[in-house]
Amino acid sequence: MALTAIKGFNDILANESGRWQYIELSARRIFERNGFSEIRVPIMEKTELFCRSIGDATDIVEKEMYTFTDKGENSVTLRPEGTAGVMRALIEHKLYAQDPVSKLYYLGPMFRYERPQKGRYRQFHQIGAEITGVNDPLADAQVLNMLSAIFREIGLDEPTLQINSLGCPECRPAYRTALLSFLDSRLGSLCDDCKRRYNTNPLRTLDCKVPGCIEATKGAPAMLEHLCPACDEHFGCVRRYLELTGTAYTLNTRMVRGLDYYTRTTFEMVTGLLGSQSAVAAGGRYDGLISQLGGPEIPGIGFAIGLERVALLLGQREFSSTPDLFIATMGATEREVAFRLMDELLKSGIRVEMDYEGKSLKSQMRRADKLKARYSVVIGENEVATCKAAFKRMADGAVTEAALAVEEICTAVLS
Ligand code: HAM
Pocket test for ligand 1, best of 78, 259, 269, 301 (most atoms within 8 A of CB): 259
Q: Identify the pLDDT of residue 316.
A: 72
Ligand 1 atom nearest to 80, measured from its CA: 25
The crossing angle, in degrees rounded to 10, of helices 47-54 and 83-92 is 110
The ranges of the chain with pLDDT < 70 are none
Does some domain include residue 361? yes
Does some domain include residue 218? no
Instruction: Supply the residue whose CA is at minimum distance from atom 21 of ligand 1.
Output: 120
Q: Identify the pLDDT of residue 214.
A: 92
Q: Identify the pLDDT of residue 274.
A: 87
Q: What is the 3-state secondary structure (H, E, C) of 44-104?
A: EEEHHHHHHHHCCCCHHHHHHCEEEECCCCCEEEECCCCHHHHHHHHHHCCHHHHCCCEEE
Supply the DSSP symbol for 132: E
**Residue 158: strand, helix, or coil:** coil
Q: Domain containing 374 — which CATH number? A: 3.40.50.800
Ligand 1 atom nearest to 119, measured from its CA: 21
Environment class of 316 (CB within 10 Å of its CB; exposed 0-12, middle 13-18, buried 19+) = exposed
Kindly report the pTM of this predicted structure.
0.92
Of 257, 282, 313, the residue that ends a domain is 313
Residue 386 sits in the same domain as residue 349: yes
Q: Domain containing 267 — which CATH number? A: 3.30.930.10
Ligand 1 atom nearest to 280, measured from its CA: 12
Each residue's pLDDT tens digit, 23-66: 999 999 999 999 999 999 999 999 999 999 999 988 999 999 99
**Beta bridge partner(s), residue 250:** 162
Residues in the chain: 415
Does some domain include residue 217? no
Residue 211: how many CB atoms within 10 A of its CB?
Answer: 9
Residues with CB under 6 A from ligand 1: 81-83, 112, 114, 119-121, 124, 126, 128, 130, 258-259, 279-284, 302-304, 306, 308-309
* DSSP state string for 184-224: HTTGGGS-HHHHHHHHH-GGGGGG---HHHHHHTTT---GG
Residue 290 sits in the same domain as residue 341: no
Query: For residue 378, which phi and psi values (nearest 5 degrees)?
Result: -110, 125
Compute, in angstroms, the gap from residue 51 CA to the centroid of ligand 1.
Answer: 17
Residue 294 sits in the same domain as residue 160: yes
**Residue 124: strand, helix, or coil:** strand
Residue 298 sits in the same domain as residue 404: no
Residue 380 sits in the same domain as residue 272: no
Query: For residue 242, which phi and psi values (nearest 5 degrees)?
Result: -65, -40
Does some domain include residue 375? yes
Compute, in angstroms, the gap from residue 258 CA to the centroid of ligand 1.
Answer: 9
Instruction: Supply the residue whose CA is at minimum distance from atom 15 of ligand 1.
Output: 306
Chain-centre distance for alpha carbon 314: 13
Pocket test for ligand 1, best of 61, 79, 81 (most atoms within 8 A of CB): 81
Q: Identify the pLDDT of residue 191.
A: 94
Q: Identify the pLDDT of residue 250.
A: 97
Residue ranges with strand state E in 139-186: 160-165
CA distance 182 to 193: 18
State how many domains the chain has: 2
Sign of CA dihedral 397, 399, 402, 404: positive
Over the range 128-139, which residues count as b (16 or more CB within 10 Å of their CB) and which as e? bbbbbbbeebeb
Q: Identify the pLDDT of residue 216.
A: 92
Edge-to-edge strand list for the sheet holding 325-329: 352-354, 325-329, 375-379, 388-393, 399-403
Compute, in angstroms, the gap from residue 237 CA to the centroid of ligand 1.
Answer: 26
The CA-CA-CA angle for residues 184, 186, 192, to 5°, reads: 100
Q: Identify the pLDDT of residue 147.
A: 98
| 351 neighbors 362 (Cβ within 8 angstroms) | no
**Beta bridge partner(s), residue 130:** 104, 302
**Residue 228: strand, helix, or coil:** coil
Compute, in angstroms, the gap from residue 319 CA to the centroid of ligand 1.
Answer: 25
Compute, in angstroms, the gap from residue 233 CA to the centroid of ligand 1.
Answer: 28
Q: What is the CA radius of gyration of the chain?
A: 28
| 378 neighbors 330 (Cβ within 8 angstroms) | yes
CA distance 134 to 383: 67
Q: Identify the pLDDT of residue 155.
A: 94
Residue 287 sits in the same domain as residue 371: no
For 129, the domain range is 14-171+227-313
Each residue's pLDDT tens digit, 354-406: 998 889 999 999 999 999 999 999 999 999 999 999 999 999 999 999 999 99
Residue 55 sits in the same domain as residue 75: yes
Q: Identify the pLDDT of residue 258.
A: 87
Q: Are strands 250-251 and 300-306 parallel, antiparallel or unpaired?
A: unpaired
Instruction: Supply the residue whose CA is at minimum distance from atom 2 of ligand 1.
Output: 282
Compute, in angstroms, the gap from residue 155 CA to the centroid of ligand 1.
Answer: 21
Does some domain include residue 21? yes
Residue 363: how many CB atoms within 10 A of its CB?
Answer: 11
